[in-house]
Structure 1
Amino acid sequence: MGDEGGRAAERVILNCTVTDGRTAEGAEPIRDAAVLVRGERIAAAGPRAEVLARAPGAARVDLGGAYLTPGLVNMHTHLSLSLPGPGGEGVKALGPHDLALYMADGARRTLHCGVTTVRCVAEKDHADFALRRAIEAGRVPGPRIHTAGRALVCTGGHGHEGADTLECDGPEEFRRGVRAQIKAGADLVKVMISGGIAGEHERIDTPQLFADEMAAVIETAHAWGRKVTAHAGPAPVIAEAVKLGLDCVEHGYQLTPDVAAAMAQQGTALVPTLVVTRCKAFFDELGVPAWMQERSLGAGPRHLESYAMALAEGVTVLLGSDMPPFWSFEGTNATVRELEHMAENGLGPAGALRAATLGPARWLGAEADVGAVEPGRYADLIAMDDDPLASASAFRGVRWVMKGGEIVRDDTASRP
């Protein structure tokens, strides 16, 4: 494929079609394109002749006619996930050193899948901050990490059993919980405001925070310049949080058209995580108990209805798998399988590409750095042979990954 891995001072990527999430907003793909990368960032992107004229002596990377897109952004990630059952118990039993290595391995695998940025929304023992520092220092490979630290829950609330949550009660404790995550280095705040599929002694529609507690979380986080995302299932609970200024909903299993309309008007995004209510093989692999499987899979039809309502009302939807992003599942990885569900159930391929790249970048406030193939942004790029604007399943064929100007995966490198 020409050129070897690693980061060159200047290189030109050519023999490709460049496309990104802006196609959902009317932009056209660039065919016979080239991308000039200097150091970590994109210096130029456009027709091949124009780009080559700017750097005639740059090293060349020939993608062999591939489609080139920004790296994917997974907005609902748990690198230390431990569901009920033997598989999850094994993760819970890891000591701090083992946990760090376990998460580092997951980060490497995530990056190699073509996910170059993640938003962690509850990780154990603040190990995510150490992992982020290690990745930024170049000690371990992995995606760019935006993290909430530990999620905030009421006593006995959703996810309270693990070291990835912090139990709080009353407005003052929730304020303290927000500040504790920000002190540790959190980029955003995650709060559990209803029950879910993984809590044995709750229902999806169980309200878990009072309005004054939700208000305390949102007000405090916003005062510190952090957005808030909420694990939430039922429409009434979501409606109340949206009125208080919630920035994002995770799952949204039981939306109504009115609540979806309120989300769209407020600018509250939705990370639907459709795959979590249609993943029996994953549950079986981890030994997830029957009660959770039944609750999850039983919620599937209503979950899709909620998603359709969100799309119909114009809610911004963003890619997030909840399952570990790299997990091998139904012939691909969990990230791509989620993206396929989003595309096939009303979003379409162009919308899915935006939901996996530019949309998340905007929500994260990282639009200057990631999410598009554009000068000034990091050279976080992936390549595949099939057209992602024809089908989201094209991402099953990711064969080349660059992060920050460094080639971290090249499936053709060892071919004769």
Structure 2
Amino acid sequence: MNTVVITGCTVADGRAATGADPVPDAGILVRGERIVDVGRREDVLAAAGSVPGEVTHLDLGGAYVTPGLVNMHTHLSLSLPGTAGDQVKDMNPHELALYMADGARRTLDCGVTTVRCVAEKDHADFALRRAIEAGRVPGPRIFTAGRALVCTGGHGHEGTDTLECDGADGLRRGVRSQIKAGADLIKVMISGGIAGRHESIDTPQLFADEMAAVIETAHAWGRKVTAHAGPAAVIAQAVALGLDCVEHGYQLTPEVAAQMAARGTALVPTLLVTRCKEFFDELGVPEWMQCRSLNAGPEHLESFATAVAAGVEVLLGSDMPPFWGFEGTNATVRELEHMAEVIGPARALYAATLGPARWLRAEADIGTVEPGRYADLVAMDEDPLASASAYRGVRWVMKGGQVVRSERKAP
């Protein structure tokens, strides 16, 4: 079992949002995959001296260390309308698996050590997760919904990343089919969205008995449910039925946001999807979709601010592939910057680490720099509690005690 002691760093994590101070001149002791000690450098070095066997010392040269980022809205097989999306749709299963594995590697390299996949093609996400866990390919920890559930002709029905279901019985079978495949959670489309040509953002797509069937069945099997949803009325109906999370939430009202906060329903706002013309142009996304997306931007941002003001738990999720180069950084960091403009950097750090870990029921393993957690860590030279843009400078990444990216400190 390898033992590593990390020094030359200040440790900060999402607990800062509730008043916990960062630890300057810190040390982190890692044994195998997990952290065994964190604290003052002298104390950790003393603890390392009592560990049997060889100890590797890593000095990060004054960096700030945080937990690895958690991206809660990921599609590694994304194929939007347009030329680039058509190329992904045309991939055979072998090509798709390699394409997604490359995306997983890139995701880990930019400091995202955990993802929540919320609709992937052909169940390739399960094979990718097994390959990553076996150490055959590099990539983040994967929590996945498998294929998202959608009504016949509903949002996203065109791809193999969704499963068309109708009626309460059909949706119950859909939930069970994804759990059978290995899903950690269930994703359901309950309204229209940006990428559907023959729908609008506020088109309702499930009846109440269908929503109830999804939520009741998933909860019976111990799985949470997240829903692609735009309009307030549809979201209110699902929240009343026990929905655990809303994706996008383009058109929230103060009343519905208050309902979400009272019920503990989280929001993954995916602010990038209504302010990413550069990305759309790169993918050849058609004009009708670009107009729908960009025109929804002001209300989308207002909706997010409304949720924050109501006390809704907000979590980081980019929708755009986590690693995608965008506006001078990657999509994950750019999303985090947008969120931080409203919630501030400390709360943004929480929304990117500990908050997602708690939603995933994985806080015993990820989300903080504490003994017992996986050594999933990132380092940068600027202070992330001063600005979320510090993550633009990630230069070192560790996952499960193994360094997967290491660059020298910038002169």
Residue aligning to 1:4: none
- Could you tell me the TM-score, scaled by structure 1's length? 0.97
SS where residue 340 of structure 2 aligns?
helix
1:402 aligns with 2:395: no
Residue aligning to 1:376: 372
Deviations 1:386-411 (A, max 9, x none): 00001000000000000000000001
- Match for residue 314 of structure 1 among 311, 315, 318: 311
> Which consecutive unaligned segments of at least 5 residues does structure 2 have?
none
Residue aligning to 2:42: 49
- Match for residue 146 of structure 2 among 146, 149, 166: 149
**For 2:43 and 2:20, how far apart are their aligned partners in 1?**
19
SS where residue 73 of structure 2 aligns?
strand
- Match for residue 113 of structure 1 among 110, 120, 123: 110
1:30 aligns with 2:17: no
Residue aligning to 1:353: 349
1:148 deviates by: 0.1
Residue aligning to 2:168: 171
**For 1:395 and 1:369, how far apart are their aligned partners in 2?**
22
**For 1:75 and 1:358, how far apart are their aligned partners in 2?**
12
**For 1:117 and 1:166, how far apart are their aligned partners in 2?**
25
Identity of aligned residues (%): 80
**For 1:265 and 1:46, how far apart are their aligned partners in 2?**
36
1:17 aligns with 2:10: yes
Residue aligning to 1:229: 226
Deviations 1:336-376 (A, max 9, x none): 000000001x1100000000000000000000000000000
Letter in 2 for 1:64: G
Residue aligning to 1:341: 338
SS where residue 393 of structure 1 aligns?
helix
1:189 deviates by: 0.1
Residue aligning to 1:266: 263
**For 1:78 and 1:195, how far apart are their aligned partners in 2?**
18
Deviations 1:147-191 (A, max 9, x none): 000000000000000000000000000000000000000000000
Aligned pairs, number = 407
**For 1:125 and 1:411, how far apart are their aligned partners in 2?**
36
Letter in 2 for 1:67: Y
**For 1:77 and 1:9, how far apart are their aligned partners in 2?**
32
> Which consecutive unaligned segments of at least 5 residues does structure 1 have?
1-7
Letter in 2 for 1:258: E
**For 2:235 and 2:324, how far apart are their aligned partners in 1?**
29
- Could you tell me the TM-score, scaled by structure 2's length? 0.98
1:103 deviates by: 0.1
Residue aligning to 1:3: none
1:203 aligns with 2:230: no
1:195 deviates by: 0.2
Residue aligning to 1:250: 247
**For 1:410 and 1:314, how far apart are their aligned partners in 2?**
38
**For 2:101 and 2:4, how far apart are their aligned partners in 1?**
29
Question: Superposition pairs for residues 290-309 of structure 1, below 5 Å?
Answer: 290-309=287-306
Residue aligning to 1:139: 136
Residue aligning to 1:5: none
- Match for residue 181 of structure 2 among 171, 175, 184: 184
SS where residue 55 of structure 1 aligns?
helix
1:412 deviates by: 2.3
**For 1:59 and 1:85, how far apart are their aligned partners in 2?**
49
Residue aligning to 1:64: 61
1:388 aligns with 2:384: yes
Letter in 2 for 1:31: P
The structure 1 segments of at least 4 consecutive aligned residues displaced by more than 6 Å after TM superposition are none
Letter in 2 for 1:267: G
**For 1:113 and 1:216, how far apart are their aligned partners in 2?**
38
Letter in 2 for 1:409: R
**For 1:189 and 1:412, how far apart are their aligned partners in 2?**
41
SS where residue 62 of structure 1 aligns?
strand
**For 1:401 and 1:121, how far apart are their aligned partners in 2?**
24
SS where residue 382 of structure 2 aligns?
coil
